[in-house]
Copies of this chain bind each other. A is one copy, B any other.
Amino acid sequence: MQLYKDQTLRIHNSLTGKKDVFEPINEGHVGMYVCGPTVYSNVHLGNCRTFMSFDMIFRYFKHLGYKVRYVRNITDAGHLENDADEGEDKIAKKAKLEQIEPMEVVQRYTVDFHNTLQQFNLLPPSIEPTATGHIIEQIEIIKEILEKGLAYEANGSVYFDVIKFNENHDYGKLSGRKLEDMITNTRELTAQDEKRNPQDFALWKKAEPQHIMRWPSPWGDGFPGWHLECTAMSTKYLGENFDIHGGGMDLKFPHHECEIAQAEASTGKSPVNYWMHANMLTLNGRKMSKSTDNNIYPAEIFSGNNNILSKPYTPAVVRFFMMQAHYTSILDLSDDALQASEKGYNRLMEALDNVDKLKTSGKSDFDVKAWQQKCYEAMNDDFNTPILIAQLFEAVKHINLIKEDNETISAEDKDLLASSLKAFVYDVLGIENQSLTKDDSNTLNGVMELLIDIRNEARAKKDFATSDKIRDQLVELGIQIKDGKDGTTFSVN
């Protein structure tokens, strides 16, 4: 039997504003769409947190036995510099700056994105579609919305008519805004505006002659609006109504509000049952920002090449740090917080190394079944990873007590403890045990220098039994020691 049949999972749904019991559309299946990056620069640590949160959610659904189709897109066209459908395409602008083809920009930063997420041990999504790969599908949706009379063409561009849509729908229901308030608070249109109302948004933008990213359409050469791609890709791969749509908090309005409007306008259906939003990451108490230098990239954390942190931290430690906060809370990154996480991470990994070696006895002082249920309860309560981690440290405490013979555990409980602990740490939280692999090469060099030193001392003392033993056993390990004029060196075969 699948685990999910025993668990009642509650999800904070941005659409209802409360924790709703999760009921999938198709039993045993989850369809989840998450807005991916616009690939015009190196991936931001805040974005990494968002994708890591949804990776944990993806992993927990899989752990529960669901078959998950997880779609996370790549935005490689159509994302303009500001939300009012103005400014340059972000990728085209970068391409102009670097004097390369826009798709070279896309490739460079897609590779960076994948590499960074791989370092953080994120699983690849089931499908990773691109905006440029779905121009036809976007054009088809525009045609449908035009047919429904909820969009209009103006000078080769097509805009969504928010006022008209709101007559029979509720524009603003996700973000909790009222259209009347939006109208009151928005600047008025100028004479050269193509939009009928300032709230309207572009479904298709006419390409000016100098715009390189362009495709033919019934309205002339142009490119799709940013909001439209997610509607096209989510419905193509998950259907007109699917389970979960996620993204960063900053995408709730206008991006996700517009997605709902587009889908409802074209299909008449509400597209998504559970809207989930991950919260932001701050740095030393302030918003991260390149312009104020209050910013750090993942690679800078791993290498230690930065002016913000006292030392390098591994991807696993950073991931552990991120998981210590709930995905809907603001999380502040600082050197102190990372140091604390590193200590906790090391304690946890040590317990994982020890759990299999515990001696067993007839009875258990630790109620492993009850503990395991508390872990599930934490995750079932809107993926509450900080509570889960607190439970994991409860297990660590008992592992240490058992190891020091101050408590006992039965063989059956030990197996359950070991398998549950590994499942929650490795499979659900996605935290790798890097305790031994980190910097092995440097450590090995240091240890070898010491061993060579001990060997030379033994030879000086004419303790040839020891020096020969060292040499012979190293040969067995595939390590050759060579005595040269400049001292002793070694090489690994």
Contact = CB atoms under 8 A, between A and B. Distances in A.
Contacts of A486: 357
Interface string A440-465: 11011111101100100100000000
A408 B438 CA distance: 40
A359 to B, nearest CB: 9
Contacts of A440: 437, 440-441, 444, 492
A478 interface: yes
Contact of A435 (B350, B451, B491): B491
A136 to B, nearest CB: 5
Contacts of A443: 444, 477-479, 492
Contacts of A353: 491
Contact of A114 (B103, B114, B133, B477): B114
Interface in A85-119: 100-101, 103-104, 106-107, 111, 114
A132 interface: yes
A169 to B, nearest CB: 27
A44 interface: no
A357 B486 CA distance: 10
A140 B216 contact: yes
Interface in A234-286: 237
Nearest to A233: B103
A103 B129 contact: yes
B133 A132 contact: yes
Given A114-B114, A440-B441, A466-B457, A136 B448 contact: no
A136 B133 contact: no
A383 B93 CA distance: 37
A473 B450 contact: yes
A69 interface: yes
A474 interface: yes
A389 interface: no
Contacts of A103: 127, 129, 237
A69 B140 CA distance: 33
B101 A124 contact: no
Contacts of A318: none
A466 B441 contact: no
Most buried by B among A111, A357, A469, A492: A492
Give the dominant DSSP class at A's interface. helix
Contacts of A101: 69, 126-127, 237
B450 A470 contact: yes
Most chain B CB within 10 A, of A100, A101, A443, A451, is at A443
Contacts of A426: none
A73 B59 CA distance: 31
Contacts of A444: 436, 440, 443-444, 447
Contacts of A111: 124
B124 A107 contact: yes
Given A127-B104, A127-B107, A466-B457, A479 B133 contact: no
A130 interface: yes
A346 interface: yes
Contact of A136 (B69, B126, B215, B476): B215
Contact of A454 (B346, B436, B441, B466): B466
Contacts of A437: 440-441
Interface string A208-225: 000000011000000000
A135 interface: yes
B441 A470 contact: no
A128 interface: yes
A136 B216 contact: yes
Contacts of A215: 136
A435 B114 CA distance: 27
A493 interface: yes
Q: Which 7 A-B pairs have the closest CB atoms?
A: A133-B133, A440-B440, A446-B477, A103-B127, A111-B124, A444-B444, A450-B473
Given A69-B101, A446-B476, 14 more contacts: A101-B127, A104-B126, A107-B126, A107-B127, A130-B133, A133-B133, A135-B136, A136-B216, A435-B491, A436-B441, A440-B441, A443-B492, A447-B448, A451-B454
28 contacts: A101-B127, A101-B237, A103-B129, A104-B126, A104-B127, A107-B124, A107-B126, A107-B128, A111-B124, A114-B114, A130-B133, A136-B215, A435-B492, A437-B440, A437-B441, A440-B441, A443-B444, A443-B477, A446-B477, A447-B448, A447-B479, A450-B451, A450-B470, A450-B474, A450-B477, A454-B454, A454-B466, A454-B469
